[in-house]
């Protein structure tokens, strides 16, 4: 993709004496006032230029990050831009990405495509952004890349009938800001021609470079990318990205961007890691050429090191020893800030969606801290991050305890992962050794990380014990992040209409959605718009709710010519509502039908949907602000709500949620619904609106339940919570890592659930012959007695097994036979299949003679069982108990298996047990040939 030179020939460049040149190093065109300038002046891998601002800042004063942010915002505010509060770093209003990686993300696609108006025009914003694809470059590039950074965006949205400003004025604004407000000399500012594409949009852009550092990108978004073709947008958008962190670094001339941004916090991490006095001269030399480093598929870490070592005239191994711990500290400072921001917005580390990215960050931080020898200092560092940044982002302080708790739980989970990991790697190593493979390939390393959460560094440690190498790309974490950044988000389960149905209604006007005007209407009249295949009916208006947002479709009936037709399903197809009819009569366009809704079902679903909002609000109050709705499904008998949470819910927490939800019902709060412009709703209620995920459209329907809960929701609801009556949480379970499910019933079904449990208690009370108020004590006593009885039984079984095992030639054994130096013992346990006794007896036999194989079997009349145990000498000679049992148990109609030294199986074909035993002997003989 490229644009003609005319796109970049701005009046400003001509007036200010800029000339267009081509860089001989990178081949890109640029504009400069310095006619002697030969290259584009950017520090990049092609070696166009070094950083010349380090130790020599071009600005008239030094700025902290906070000061630079305010300077940027104030500059544009004075020039007619409205200051907008930053959006969250978790992009819950988008259905295509998880994290906010640019300020324009806040306004795509609704504003940029003309669906909704912007919150202001023009506007200015300082947006925290996260780009995990840069994770490998974070430390080595000294601050050119951060995983979390602040992007200053001044945006103007130019409509066909309203021009705000475009390319020329955008460039003038930038030049004025850097030269007049910051004090940079005009001839030190270079503008490089570029092409920008992202978020489905594209356009020409210019990158702004000062003393080697790219500090801003001015994008002129005017196209939509459709099938790799550029389609003109109705709105031309000024999309600027000022690197606030980079400007602060530029103004301070610090050795790295991390020094400029983190200051004393960085010093404390160095101190924790025991990194004392640093050779500042060497650090500055390296910093000046650090812009040439970019770890990607074509440049390895070692190659980058060698390149820098040559430039600063130091041996590569000496430089590596000097830089590695410093870069690790840089990355720790960056990553812990990034993780703090993600966790503060309620992302629970897990193996899915944005939780996956949080876990990726945590495990990379753990690796870095281990390399520095301070893994236990994570909590101290995160605590410092919260203190430092909560001055600008107060929610960090509010979420401090939850952040720490999530870190603690994630640490526990990670330790469990490491314990399991050693066995996984050992098994994989054994499989590879059989194939004479000496290296664990990248695909398996990625699978171990994706499916089991095992980082490559841990895999390498375990593989080293097995004398295997591991193939791990240096940018492993960046590749993993890239794969998961754009993953599609799950949305509420909705029935998607078949393509032919879409086509059948494409020419129809939008159905009037009466169910939004009054959700209590039970009967109405409407005119037929179209009959499709004598099965589907489209009306001009409807009160029938189509399935969506986890709420099932309404059902009911149509009456026409005194004939009643059953409505079995309702779907939304684009702007049209389609009713599926059972036994469709001779209806035609223009016919008037009388419609009736199954009110009991509708009213029950209204109750359940309103309760879902109450339970969600209650869960947030009990568990914390990290709770977000992950999924929901409403029903008439019971409904479910899946929420994000880092631990299994305790019974006490479930009861607290239940009590709060019922208290909310008793408050009889009004449930208000209103259609609002998207930006107004977000401004008034924040991004908690998007509990159910992204909501399309210019306007969104807001459902407000008193002061309890506010959500963007398209479902049907009650007028007040008092109509609900009663809620009972009947079940909770872990759905997947980081997601808990609550199942609940409302009204009469809730009462039924309580009564069913009461009946169960009464039945148990009757069985145990104990009153309800003493049931727990009675159960405890019985369990204690049972444990004691089982312990006594195990003791007796062991004594019996010891006596039986001691008499190898005793009558207890059916046969004692020697096969190629291995003793075979068989025993039929007849009608007493006591697995524990079988195992204990076999163990005693094997203890006394490792050159023994025991085949034990038996039946209780309904089931048959076979067990094989082999001593070490027997397995060394080729005996495999797992193979024997696997084949033998198939004969008795079941399954089984195990390890070479022990296996067991069973089945229901009792009469074939003797045949199975013969098969077992036959296989054993083959193994010992």
Q: What is the pLDDT of residues 784-799, one digit of tens each?
A: 988 888 887 777 767 7
User: 625, 402 in Cβ contact below 8 A?
Assistant: yes
841: helix, strand or coil: helix
Most confident by average pLDDT, 138-142, 377-381, 469-473, 695-699:
377-381
Check pLDDT > 60 for residue 488. no
Continuous segment of H or E residues that includes residue 110: none
Q: Closest Cα partner for 403 from 416, 386, 390?
A: 386
Q: Closest Cα partner for 168 from 218, 202, 207?
A: 218
**Residue 731: per-residue pLDDT:** 94
Q: Please give the backbone phi and psi of residue 294, each rounded to the nearest 5 degrees, phi first.
A: -155, 105
Name the pLDDT band for 480 (thresholds 50, 70, 90).
confident
Name the pLDDT band for 93 (thresholds 50, 70, 90).
confident
Task: Kindly give the interhelix angle for 378-389 and 316-344, rounded to the nearest 10 degrees.
Answer: 60
Average pLDDT, stretch 57-62?
A: 95
For the chain, helix, strand, coil in percent to 5 are 45, 25, 30
Give residue-wise pLDDT tens across range 579-604.
999 876 677 888 899 999 999 999 99
Q: What proportion of the chain, given as a percentage, has pLDDT over 70?
A: 95
Continuous segment of H or E residues that includes residue 11: helix 11-15
Please give the full DSSP string across 639-689, using - where no structure is assigned.
EEEEEE-SSPPPHHHHHHHHHHHHHHHHTT-BEEEEEEEHHHHHHHHGGGG
Name the pLDDT band for 491 (thresholds 50, 70, 90).
very low
Check pLDDT > 90 for residue 53. yes
User: 554, 510 in Cβ contact below 8 A?
Assistant: no
User: 163, 112 in Cβ contact below 8 A?
Assistant: no
Lowest-confidence region among 177-181, 377-381, 924-928: 924-928
> What does the DSSP 8-state code read for residue 616?
H
Check pLDDT > 90 for residue 803. no
Average pLDDT, stretch 762-784?
A: 88
Distances (CA, A) of 492 to 406, 549, 571: 26, 5, 15
User: 871, 824 in Cβ contact below 8 A?
Assistant: no
Q: Which two tokens stand for residue 633?
A: 């499904």
User: 853, 924 in Cβ contact below 8 A?
Assistant: yes
**Residue 493: per-residue pLDDT:** 47
Burial of 418 (0-12, 13-18, 19+ CB in 10 A): middle
Peptide bond into 582 cis (omega under 30): no
Q: Closest Cα partner for 886 from 868, 874, 873, 910?
A: 868
Check pLDDT > 80 for residue 482. no
Distances (CA, A) of 723 to 269, 666, 702, 806: 57, 9, 20, 75
Name the pLDDT band for 810 (thresholds 50, 70, 90).
very low
User: 812, 827 in Cβ contact below 8 A?
Assistant: yes
Q: CA-CA distance, 538 to 560, in Å (whole number)? A: 15
Peptide bond into 37 cis (omega under 30): no
Half-sphere exposure (CA, 13 Å, Cβ side) for 569? 12
373: helix, strand or coil: coil
Could you give the strand order of the β-sheet that contains 895-899, starting from the edge strand earlier in sequence?
815-819, 822-828, 852-859, 864-870, 902-907, 895-899
Average pLDDT, stretch 843-849?
A: 84
User: How many DSSP H helices and E strands does the chain contain?
Assistant: 26, 32
What is the C-alpha radius of gyration for the chain, rounded to an integer number of angstroms?
Answer: 35
Q: CA-CA distance, 826 to 829, in Å (whole number)? A: 10
User: 844, 801 in Cβ contact below 8 A?
Assistant: yes
Peptide bond into 122 cis (omega under 30): yes
**Residue 795: per-residue pLDDT:** 76
Sequence-distant (≥ 6) Cβ neighbours of residue 890 within 8 angstroms: 907
Q: CA-CA distance, 868 to 866, in Å (whole number)? A: 7
Q: Which two tokens stand for residue 559?
A: 């009456």
Q: Which two tokens stand for residue 753?
A: 């659930």
Half-sphere exposure (CA, 13 Å, Cβ side) for 404? 13
Continuous segment of H or E residues that includes residue 42: none
Name the pLDDT band for 808 (thresholds 50, 70, 90).
very low
**Residue 496: per-residue pLDDT:** 57
> What does the DSSP 8-state code read for residue 97?
-
Q: CA-CA distance, 740 to 631, in Å (whole number)? A: 10
Sequence-distant (≥ 6) Cβ neighbours of residue 925 within 8 angstroms: 819
Q: CA-CA distance, 259 to 253, in Å (whole number)? A: 10
**Residue 625: per-residue pLDDT:** 93
Q: Which two tokens stand for residue 850?
A: 């490792």
Could you give the strand order of the β-sheet that contains 709-712, starting from the edge strand earlier in sequence?
671-677, 699-705, 709-712
**Residue 812: per-residue pLDDT:** 53
Q: Closest Cα partner for 209 from 74, 376, 52, 326?
A: 52
Length of the chain: 929
User: 466, 421 in Cβ contact below 8 A?
Assistant: no
Give residue-wise pLDDT tens across range 894-918.
888 888 899 999 899 989 999 999 9
Q: What proportion of the chain, given as a percentage, has pLDDT over 90?
A: 59
Q: Which two tokens stand for residue 717?
A: 């609801």
Check pLDDT > 70 for residue 487. no
Q: C-alpha 555: how far from its chain's center?
A: 36
Q: Which two tokens stand for residue 393?
A: 């982002």
Average pLDDT, stretch 13-17?
A: 96
**Which contacts of 310-318 are long-range, i.e. CB under 8 A and separated by 24 or more positions?**
312/282, 312/285, 312/286, 314/282
Average pLDDT of the chain to the nearest whole number: 89
- Angle formed at CA 491 by CA 488 and CA 494, multiple of 5 degrees: 125
- Angle formed at CA 122 by CA 117 and CA 125, multiple of 5 degrees: 95
Q: Please give the backbone phi and psi of residue 883, each rounded to the nearest 5 degrees, phi first.
A: -65, -40
Q: CA-CA distance, 155 to 123, in Å (whole number)? A: 5
Sequence-distant (≥ 6) Cβ neighbours of residue 213 within 8 angstroms: 42, 43, 51, 53, 144, 246, 249, 250, 291
**Residue 540: per-residue pLDDT:** 95
**Is the pLDDT higher at 818 or at 742?**
742
């Amino acid at each position: 993709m490229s644009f003609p030179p005319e796109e970049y020939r701005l009046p400003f460049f001509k007036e200010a004496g800029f000339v267009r040149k081509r860089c001989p190093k990178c081949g890109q065109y640029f504009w400069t006032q310095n006619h002697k300038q030969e290259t584009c002046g950017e520090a990049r891998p092609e070696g166009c230029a070094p950083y010349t601002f380090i130790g020599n800042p071009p600005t008239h004063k030094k700025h902290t990050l906070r000061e630079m942010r305010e300077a940027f915002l104030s500059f544009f505010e004075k020039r007619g831009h409205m200051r907008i509060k930053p959006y969250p770093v978790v992009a819950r209003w988008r259905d295509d990405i998880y994290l906010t990686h640019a300020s324009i993300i806040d306004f795509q696609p609704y504003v940029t495509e003309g669906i909704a108006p912007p919150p202001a025009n023009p506007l200015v914003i300082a947006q925290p952004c996260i780009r995990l694809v840069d994770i490998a470059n974070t430390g080595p590039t000294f601050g050119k890349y951060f995983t979390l950074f602040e992007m200053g965006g001044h945006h103007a949205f130019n409509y066909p009938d309203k021009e705000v400003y475009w390319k020329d004025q955008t460039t003038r604004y930038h030049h004025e800001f850097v030269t007049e407000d910051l004090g940079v000399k005009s001839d030190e500012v270079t503008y490089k021609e570029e092409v920008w594409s992202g978020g489905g949009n594209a356009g020409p852009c210019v990158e702004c470079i000062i003393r080697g550092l790219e500090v801003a990108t001015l994008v002129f978004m005017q196209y939509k990318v459709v099938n790799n073709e550029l389609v003109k947008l109705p709105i031309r958008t000024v999309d600027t990205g000022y690197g606030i962190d980079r400007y602060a670094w530029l103004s301070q001339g610090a050795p790295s961007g991390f020094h400029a941004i983190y200051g004393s916090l960085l010093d404390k991490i160095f101190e924790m890691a025991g990194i004392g006095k640093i050779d500042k001269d060497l650090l500055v030399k390296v910093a000046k050429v650090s812009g040439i480093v970019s770890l990607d598929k074509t440049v390895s870490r070692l190659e980058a090191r060698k390149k820098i070592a040559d430039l600063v005239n130091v041996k590569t191994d000496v430089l590596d020893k000097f830089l590695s711990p410093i870069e690790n500290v840089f990355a720790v400072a960056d990553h812990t800030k990034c993780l703090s921001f993600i966790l503060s917005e309620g992302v629970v580390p897990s193996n899915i969606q944005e939780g996956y990215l949080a876990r990726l960050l945590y495990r990379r931080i753990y690796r870095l801290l281990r390399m520095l020898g301070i893994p236990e200092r994570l909590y101290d560092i995160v605590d410092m991050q919260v203190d430092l940044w909560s001055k600008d982002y107060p929610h960090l302080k509010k979420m401090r305890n939850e952040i720490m708790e999530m870190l603690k739980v994630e640490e526990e989970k990670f330790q469990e992962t490491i314990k399991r990991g050693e066995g996984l790697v050992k098994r994989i190593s054994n499989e590879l050794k059989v194939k004479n493979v000496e290296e664990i390939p990248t695909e398996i390393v990625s699978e171990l990380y994706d499916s089991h959460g095992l980082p490559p560094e841990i895999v390498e440690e375990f593989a080293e014990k097995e004398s295997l190498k591991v193939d791990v790309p240096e940018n492993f974490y960046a590749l993993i992040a890239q794969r998961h950044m754009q993953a599609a988000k799950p949305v509420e389960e909705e029935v998607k209409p078949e393509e032919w149905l879409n086509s059948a209604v494409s020419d129809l006007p939008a159905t009037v959605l009466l169910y939004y005007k009054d959700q209590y209407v039970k009967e109405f009249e409407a005119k037929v718009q179209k009959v499709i295949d004598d099965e589907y009916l489209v009306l001009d208006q409807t009160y029938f709710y189509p399935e969506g947002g986890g709420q099932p479709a309404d059902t009911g009936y149509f009456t026409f010519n005194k004939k009643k037709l059953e409505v079995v399903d309702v779907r939304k197809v684009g702007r049209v509502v389609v009713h599926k009819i059972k036994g469709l009569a001779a209806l035609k366009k223009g016919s008037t039908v009388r419609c009736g809704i199954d009110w009991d079902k509708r009213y029950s679903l209204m109750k359940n949907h309103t309760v879902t909002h109450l339970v969600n609000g209650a869960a947030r109050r009990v568990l914390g602000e990290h709770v977000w709705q992950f999924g929901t499904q409403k029903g008439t008998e019971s409904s479910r709500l899946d929420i994000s949470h880092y631990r299994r819910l305790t019974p006490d927490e479930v009861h607290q949620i239940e009590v709060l939800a019922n208290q909310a019902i008793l408050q009889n709060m009004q449930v208000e619904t209103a259609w609002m412009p998207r930006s107004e709703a977000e401004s008034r209620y924040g991004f908690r609106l998007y509990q159910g995920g992204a909501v399309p459209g210019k306007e969104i329907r807001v459902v407000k339940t008193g002061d309890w809960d506010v959500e963007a929701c398209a479902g049907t609801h009650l007028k007040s919570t008092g109509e609900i009556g009663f809620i009972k949480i009947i079940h909770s379970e872990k759905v997947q890592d980081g997601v808990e499910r609550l199942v609940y019933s409302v009204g009469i079904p809730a009462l039924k659930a309580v009564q069913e449990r009461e009946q169960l208690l009464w039945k148990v009370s009757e069985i145990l012959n104990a009153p309800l108020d003493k049931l727990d004590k009675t159960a405890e006593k019985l369990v204690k007695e049972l444990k004691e009885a089982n312990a006594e039984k195990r003791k007796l079984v062991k004594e019996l097994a010891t006596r039986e095992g001691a008499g190898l030639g005793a009558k207890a054994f059916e046969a004692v036979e020697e096969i190629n130096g291995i003793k075979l013992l068989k025993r039929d346990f007849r009608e007493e299949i006591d697995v524990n006794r079988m195992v204990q007896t076999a163990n005693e036999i094997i203890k006394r003679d490792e050159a023994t194989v025991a085949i034990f079997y038996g039946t209780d009349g309904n089931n048959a069982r076979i067990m094989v145990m082999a001593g070490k000498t027997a397995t060394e000679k080729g005996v495999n108990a797992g193979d024997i049992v696997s084949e033998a148990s198939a004969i008795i109609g079941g399954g089984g298996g195990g390890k070479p030294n022990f296996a067991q199986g069973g089945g229901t074909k009792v009469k074939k047990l003797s045949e199975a035993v013969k098969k077992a002997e036959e296989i054993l003989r083959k193994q010992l040939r």
